[in-house]
Amino acid sequence: MNNFFALSPILVVVLGALLVLLLDVFLKKENKNYLAYISLIFLVICAFVCIRFWNKNYSYFNGNLFLDNLALFFIFILVLATGFVILLSMKYITFQDVNYGEFYALLLLALSGVAIMLSSIDLLIIFLGLEVLSICSYALAGLKRKDEKSSEAAIKYFLLGSFATAFLVYGLALLYGSSHSTSISSIINFFITESELSIMALIGLALVIIGFGFKIAVVPFHMWTPDVYQGAPTPITAFFSVVPKAVGFIVFLRLFVPYWKNALNTQAIFWILWVICVLTMVVGNLVALRQTNLKRILAYSSIAHAGYLLIAVLAQDNSSLVFYLTVYLFMNIGAFAAVIALSRKGKEYLELEDYAGVGFKYPWIGVTFSIFLLSLAGFPPTGGFLAKFYVFSTAVREGLLPLVIIGVLASLISVFYYLRIIVYMYMREPAREIEIAVENPALFLVLFFCLYGVIQLGIYPRNILVLINQAVSSFF
Amino acid sequence: MGYFLFFLLAALTVGAVLAMIISKNQAYNALFLILAFACLGGIFALLEAPFIAVVQIIIYAGAIMVLFIFVIMMINVRYGIPAEKKKWTIYLSIVLAVVLIIELILSIKGAFTLPVSTAIIKAGPTDLGRLLFTKYLYPFEITSILIIAALVGAIVLIKKKEKK
C-alpha cells in the first residue's frame, strides 16, 4: 500500500538526530545527559511506529521504500540495540572524555542508515543506506580523540571501509550492466532466465559479497575488526558488533535466499560462501584463544558468530537466521555492558588479569557476565544454545553435514576462551586492586534487559518465534 | 573543424598525461593531470555530451584535483618512491598495462562488430534533473542524510580540544 507514513520510522530517527544537534549548542557540558533522554524518546516513538505498522506492508516511492514485516522486525530490534548503546554510553562518555552531543546524533543518523537499508530491496538504496551507516561509524570509532588507539581505529576503519565500498560499487555496476536493474528482484529474475552462466553477473555478485563481507566481518575480510573494536569507545564497539552485522545478514537474506531457491547456476557463489563460512568459524575461534584483551576476545568471538550465521544463510534457513541475530543482540550487548561496568573515571579495565576475583567482589556483574558468556558459548538453558541448535539442525536437514561438524567443533573451541574469563572471575586471586564506579543505573538496566532477553529466548522462545515466522514468510 | 579539434584535444590529453608521468615535481604532476582532464572534457563536448563535459571539469579538474594539491602541499613529499620499491611498481605496472592493452583490443574489436545505433540518446541536464526528482527522488534525499552525517562526523573529529 502506497502511503506517505511509510517514511515515518526513518524520519523520526533523522528528526531526533537533528534535534539533538540543535539542542547540543544550548546545553552546558554537565547537562549533556538530556540529549540521551531526547534520543531515547525518539527511539521509543520509532519502535512504537514499527509495532503499529506490523502486517500493514506500507510502501512509498514506487516501492523503493517497502516496510514489510522483516524490515519492521529488524528496525525494532536495532532500535532496541541503539537504545541499549545510548543507555550504556550515558556514564561512559563522561568518564572517558568523549562527552560530545554529536555522539548521540551520529548514533541516530547511523540508525537511520540502518532503517534505509532494511526497508528497501533496491541495491542502490541499500548501498546509500550502508554509506550513511559507515560514515557515522568511522566518526564514532574515532571519538576518543585523546587516545591514539581510537584515532588509529577510525583511520583504519575508514580506509578499509572505503576500499570495501569500492568493491561493492564495482559489483553493483557489473550486476546493473548484466541485468539492467538495481532492484534485487529484477537481478534474481535475470539469474532465473539466464540459462547460461553469465560471468559478468557472477563476478558482480562475488564483489557484492566482498563488500558486505567486510561489513559483517567474515574471514578473510576481518583484519580491521580487532583493532577497530579495541580502539573505539566500548559502547560503540557494542554497536559495531551487532548493528552492521545484523543489517548485512538481512541483505544477504534478501539477496541469496531467493537466489538459491530460483537461479540455475548457483554452485560458484555457494562454494565461495561455504569456504568463507568455514574460514570464519575456524580462524575466528582459534585466534580468540590467544587474546588477553577482553575487547579483542569479544571481537574475535563476533567474527566466529558471523560464521555460524553464514551457515543459516547457506541452509536457506530464514527463521533461524533471524532468531540467531535476535539472541546475538542480547548476549553480545550484555557482554559488552559487563565490560563497560568495569570502569571508572578516566580508566577502563580491559585486560583478562583485571577480571581476577571480580566475580566475588561485584557479584551482580560477575553473574550476569558469566550468563552472557555461557550463552555466547551455547550452553542451555540460554538463548545462545537454542539459536545454535536451530541453525545446526536445519543445516543437517539441508544436507550441510560437513559444515555443521566444523561448526560444532569450532564452538567447542570457543567454550575454552569463554570459560577462561569465568575462571578468571571466580577462581583467580586478584593480582591488582581494581576500583570501579558502581553507581550506574542505566547500565544495570541494560544488564537486566539483556539478561531477561537471553533467558526468555532460551526457555520460552515461542512468542518471538511466531513473530519471526510472520516476518520471514512475508518478505517479497 | 570537428576532426581538427578532436585531434588537437587528443594530442593535448596524451601529451599532458605523458608530461605528468615524466615530471618529477609532484605539484606539476597534479597540474598536468588537470590539463588532461580538461582536454578530456573538451572531447566529451565534441561528442555532444555537454553535461558530462562540464561535470568532468567541475568534479575532476575542480574538486578532486584541488584535494590532490592540498594533500601534496600538506605532506610535502620531495622525493618519490625509493629505488628498491620502484622496481616492484614497475613490474606491477607492466602487468597492469598488458591487461589494459588486452582489454582495449577486445573492446575495440567489439565496437566494430556491434551495430551502430542510430537513435542517439541525448541526455542533457534537464533529463537528468527530471529523473533525479522523479524516479530517483528517494536516493537523492538519502544523499542529504549522508552529507549531514559526513559533516557532523568531520566536525566532531576536528573540533578544538577543550582546555583543562
Please spell the DSSP secondary structure of A402-429, one letter per residue.
Answer: HHHHHHHHHHHHHHHHHHHHHHHHHHS-
ipTM computed for the complex: 0.90
Query: Which candidate in B106, B132, B133, B146 is best for mutational testing of the A interface (most A CBs within 10 A)?
Result: B146
pLDDT of residue B115: 62
Interface touch B153/A138, C-beta < 8 Å: yes
DSSP 8-state class, residue B161: P
Q: Give me the number of domains chain A comprises.
A: 1
Residues A467 and A73: beta-carbon distance below 8 Å: yes
Residues A200 and A177: beta-carbon distance below 8 Å: yes
**3-state SS class at A470:** helix
Chain A contact present for B163, CB below 8 A:
no
C-alpha distance from B148 to closest chain A C-alpha (Å): 9
Query: Which candidate in A29, A116, A157 is best for mutational testing of the B interface (most B CBs within 10 A)?
Result: A116
> Which candidate from B139, B153, B156 shows the least CB-CB separation from A135?
B153
- Which residues of B fall within a CB distance of 8 Å from A140? 153
Interface touch B149/A106, C-beta < 8 Å: yes
Chain A residue with Cα closest to B136: A61
C-alpha distance from B83 to closest chain A C-alpha (Å): 26
pLDDT of residue B123: 66
- Which residues of B fall within a CB distance of 8 Å from A117? none
Chain B contact present for A183, CB below 8 A:
no
- Which residues of A fall within a CB distance of 8 Å from B153? 102, 106, 135-136, 138-140
Q: Where are the domains of chain B?
A: 1-80, 82-114, 122-164
Interface touch A100/B159, C-beta < 8 Å: yes
pLDDT per residue rounded down to tens, chain A (476 residues): 788 888 999 999 999 999 999 999 888 877 888 999 999 999 999 999 999 998 888 888 888 888 889 999 999 999 999 999 999 998 888 888 887 888 999 999 999 999 999 999 899 999 999 999 999 999 999 988 888 889 999 999 999 999 999 999 999 999 998 888 889 888 888 888 876 767 888 899 999 999 999 989 998 898 899 999 999 999 999 999 999 999 999 999 998 888 888 777 778 888 999 999 999 999 999 999 999 999 999 999 999 999 999 999 998 888 999 999 999 999 999 999 999 988 888 888 888 888 888 888 888 889 999 999 999 999 888 999 999 999 999 999 988 899 999 999 999 999 999 999 999 999 888 877 777 877 788 999 999 999 999 999 999 999 899 999 888 887 65
For residue B52, what is its C-alpha cell? 558530462
Interface touch B156/A125, C-beta < 8 Å: no
Q: Name the class of domain B1-80.
A: mainly alpha
Q: Which residues is A66 bridged to in the sheet?
A: A59
pLDDT per residue rounded down to tens, chain B (164 residues): 778 889 999 999 999 999 988 887 778 888 898 899 999 999 988 888 888 888 888 988 888 888 888 888 887 666 666 667 778 888 898 999 999 999 999 888 877 776 655 555 666 788 888 888 988 999 999 999 999 999 999 998 888 766 54
Phi, psi values for residue B67, rounded to 5°: -60, -45
C-alpha distance from B139 to closest chain A C-alpha (Å): 6
Tell me how far apart the alpha carbons of residues A321 and A455 are, in angstroms, rounded to a whole number.
Answer: 19
Interface touch A128/B156, C-beta < 8 Å: no
Chain A contact present for B145, CB below 8 A:
yes
Residues A360 and A366: beta-carbon distance below 8 Å: yes
* Domain ranges, residue A215: 4-474
Tell me how far apart the alpha carbons of residues A393 and A388 are, in angstroms, rounded to a whole number.
Answer: 8
Query: Which candidate in A10, A25, A128 is best for mutational testing of the B interface (most B CBs within 10 A)?
Result: A128
For residue B94, what is its C-alpha cell? 607492466
Interface touch A102/B156, C-beta < 8 Å: yes
Interface touch B149/A124, C-beta < 8 Å: no
Tell me how far apart the alpha carbons of residues B101 and B23 are, in angstroms, rounded to a whole number.
Answer: 24
- Max alpha carbon distance in chain B (Å)? 72
Chain B residue with Cα closest to A100: B156
C-alpha distance from B76 to closest chain A C-alpha (Å): 20
> Which candidate from A112, A125, A136 shows the least CB-CB separation from B138?
A125
Residue with cell 552525517: B149
Chain A contact present for B158, CB below 8 A:
no
Chain A contact present for B157, CB below 8 A:
yes
Residue with cell 534525499: B141
Tell me how far apart the alpha carbons of residues A296 and A396 are, in angstroms, rounded to a whole number.
Answer: 32
- Max alpha carbon distance in chain A (Å)? 68
Interface touch B150/A135, C-beta < 8 Å: yes
b (16+ CB within 10 A) / e for A18-57: ebbbebbeeeeeeebeebbebbbebbebbbebbeebeeeb
Interface touch B149/A14, C-beta < 8 Å: no
Q: Is A196 exposed, middle or buried (0-12, 13-18, 19+ CB in 10 A)?
A: exposed
Chain B contact present for A345, CB below 8 A:
no
